[in-house]
Amino acid sequence: MATLLLLVFVALSSLTGAKNPVVHPTTPSLGVSSRLQHSWAQYSPFFAPNPYTPPAKHCKITQVNIIERHGARFPTASAGAQIEASLAKLQAVPKYTDPSLNFLKNFTYDLGHDDLVPFGAAQSFDAGQLVFVRYEKLVQNALPFVRASSSQRVVDSANNWTAGVAFASNQKSQPFLSVILNEALNDTLDDNMCPNAGSSTAQTNTWQVIYAAPAVARLNAAAPGANLTVTDITNLISLCPFETVAKEKPSAFCSLFTQEEFDGFEYFGDLGKYYGTGYGQELGPVQGVGYINELLARLTGRPVVDHTQTNSTLDADPSTFPLNRTVYADFSHDNQMIAIYAAMGLFQPSTPLDPAHPDSKRSWLASQLVPFSATMVTERLDCGGKGREFVRVLVDDALQDLAFCGAGDDGMCSLDAFVQSQGYARNDGNGDFERCFA
Ligand SMILES: *[C@@H]1O[C@H](CO)[C@@H](O)[C@H](O)[C@H]1NC(C)=O
Ligand SMILES: *[C@@H]1O[C@H](CO)[C@@H](O)[C@H](O)[C@H]1NC(C)=O
Ligand SMILES: *[C@@H]1O[C@H](CO)[C@@H](O)[C@H](O)[C@H]1NC(C)=O
Ligand SMILES: *[C@@H]1O[C@H](CO)[C@@H](O)[C@H](O)[C@H]1NC(C)=O
Ligand SMILES: *[C@@H]1O[C@H](CO)[C@@H](O)[C@H](O)[C@H]1NC(C)=O
Ligand SMILES: *[C@@H]1O[C@H](CO)[C@@H](O)[C@H](O)[C@H]1NC(C)=O
């Protein structure tokens, strides 16, 4: 009888969606170990390095600012072409000396390019569900305001996210994508506006020669005449994540490489991000300034002050940059999120990443900073009492230490201290933005 009553109750509450909504995950398991997935650098699917911790009881979250990377995608068109060229070298070999390569005789590369894969769309949908579950009251208080950079995969992620929020709320909250920022114009959600910024090629090349050497030797012995280079190894190893997220089952390329080689691939990605738009790139952090200034405007409820990547027409108009919402969600790219972390002061290593010697204790890990569907959340909290407004930042659910504004173990800075700490952004990047063009 008690069981029956419980069942009736569960059925009723799931019909009405009345109490404690939960996430109904739609992302399938990929069938590869988490150890392996976590060594795919920026091609790792989202995972939480630390579980989300709610704020102290006496604090109430009053505003949530989300910036999220699109979900898992196919290789970009240019990466796909390079992968195909490396595969062609391997597949041109008439006879392999190692049977583990025999699957290549009948292997066809058939991935699309640039767009989300269904797994990636599901990641964004689940992320939307999670936001409703975690911040239900705030979402119900006012519709989340949603923007996206204009790449199709980013727009698709935003729309799948809003569908996830609507689903979790039983269609009571139906947010929609309001602003698409053109990547050819002023766009705070893309790293498209700094032509003088350098690249990470020197550093990644240095490491590639080191990490890929054993695989070059092994595969060239197994495939005589293929003449694979270290670049081919990086192309081929990337097929493990790309095929796995596209087909939702382990790619044969995952077993062609050792865990140590995947760890090397992770570091290749870490260097790419660090020297691409992160602290290792002189003109990296400045590309995150526009977003930080928009974030400060939302946190303080004051108009945007910025002379970098913002579109002042959009940001001065309450219909395209409102200040009266409680949840803001922006959809973006990995390189741009790295620039934003660096502009804010997150994840700064005490010494620059050494291209030849990875520090095994480093926290600059692309798989944790910008996996597919990576999420940075800036929460504003009201904790009562004097100086009552505070800020916390979470990246992929993990609470950040915010040492740069004097936070303690609770990761909280007063709103004032946080705003003060963002001098680089408030000063338009101390002249760095001009250097993007001059
Ligand atoms: C090759 O692939 C095709 C299509 O996927 C399949 O039908 C065939 O059985 C495969 N042949 C071998 C030898 O694996
Ligand atoms: C925000 O302000 C606009 C007017 O600028 C108003 O139309 C809208 O209803 C307000 N939204 C909320 C959630 O208060
Ligand atoms: C979700 O993303 C897919 C692309 O993978 C897209 O085709 C679909 O339209 C998106 N869903 C919504 C609700 O926009
Ligand atoms: C700013 O946004 C407006 C409205 O979408 C658009 O017409 C204009 O081209 C944008 N300007 C720049 C420089 O991004
Ligand atoms: C590999 O290199 C050898 C010797 O330089 C050359 O004869 C052969 O054609 C090359 N094979 C391929 C697939 O390029
Ligand atoms: C776009 O950005 C440039 C560079 O900061 C700036 O000069 C221009 O005023 C911006 N345009 C708009 C519409 O905000």
Cβ atoms of 312 and 374 within 8 Å: the answer is no
C-alpha closest to that of 406 among 386, 421, 389: 421
Please name the amino acid found at residue 438: A
Whole-structure pTM value: 0.94
Partners of residue 414 on adjacent β-strands:
390
Longest CA–CA span in the chain (Å) reads 77
Q: What is the 73 CA–ligand 3 centroid distance (Å)? A: 12
70 belongs to the catalytic site: yes
Q: Which ligand approaches the C-alpha of residue 102 most closely?
A: 1
Residues touching ligand 3 (Cβ under 6 Å) are 116, 118, 121, 156, 159-160, 163
Q: Which ligand approaches the C-alpha of residue 85 most closely?
A: 5
Q: What is the CA radius of gyration of the chain?
A: 23
CA distance 328 to 31: 34
334 belongs to the catalytic site: yes
Q: What is the mean pLDDT of the chain?
A: 95
Burial of 206 (0-12, 13-18, 19+ CB in 10 A): middle
Q: Which DSSP category does 116 fall into?
A: B
CA distance 395 to 334: 13
Q: In 238-355, at which residue ranges do the beta strands (DSSP E only) sit?
A: 327-332
Atom of ligand 2 at shortest range from CA of 142: 13
What does the pLDDT average to over 89-99?
Answer: 97
Render pLDDT for 215-262 as a digit per residue (tens, 0 to 9): 999 999 999 999 999 999 999 999 999 999 999 999 999 999 999 999
Ligand 5 site, residue 92, Cβ cutoff 6 A = yes
Cβ atoms of 49 and 371 within 8 Å: the answer is no
261-295: buried (b, 16+ CB within 10 Å) or exposed (e) per residue? bbbbbbbbbbbbbbbbbbbbbebbbbbbbbbbbbb
CA angle at 161 for the pair 156 and 167, rounded to the nearest 5°: 125
Residue 387's pLDDT band (cuts 50, 70, 90) = confident
What does the pLDDT average to over 279-304?
Answer: 98
Cβ atoms of 383 and 413 within 8 Å: the answer is no
Cβ atoms of 398 and 156 within 8 Å: the answer is no
- Which helix (H) or strand (E) element contains residue 62? strand 60-69
Render pLDDT for 259-287 as a digit per residue (tens, 0 to 9): 999 999 999 999 999 999 999 999 999 99
Question: Is residue 301 over pLDDT 70?
Answer: yes
And the tokens for 207? 């490491």
Ligand 2 site, residue 118, Cβ cutoff 6 A = no
Q: Which ligand approaches the C-alpha of residue 223 most closely?
A: 5
Please name the amino acid found at residue 343: A
392-428: buried (b, 16+ CB within 10 Å) or exposed (e) per residue? bbbbbbbbbebebbebeeebbbbbebbbebbebbbeb
What does the pLDDT average to over 79-89?
Answer: 98
Residues 6 or more apart whose CB falls under 8 angstroms from that of 319 comprise 178
Residue 10's pLDDT band (cuts 50, 70, 90) = very low
Q: What is the 185 CA–ligand 4 centroid distance (Å)? A: 7
C-alpha torsion 133→139→145→151, nearest 10 = 10
Phi, psi for 208 (deg, rounded to 5): -60, -40
Render pLDDT for 12-38 as a digit per residue (tens, 0 to 9): 445 544 568 999 999 999 999 999 999
Domain at 1-15+28-438: CATH code: 3.40.50.1240
Atom of ligand 4 at shortest range from CA of 185: 14
Residue 11's pLDDT band (cuts 50, 70, 90) = very low
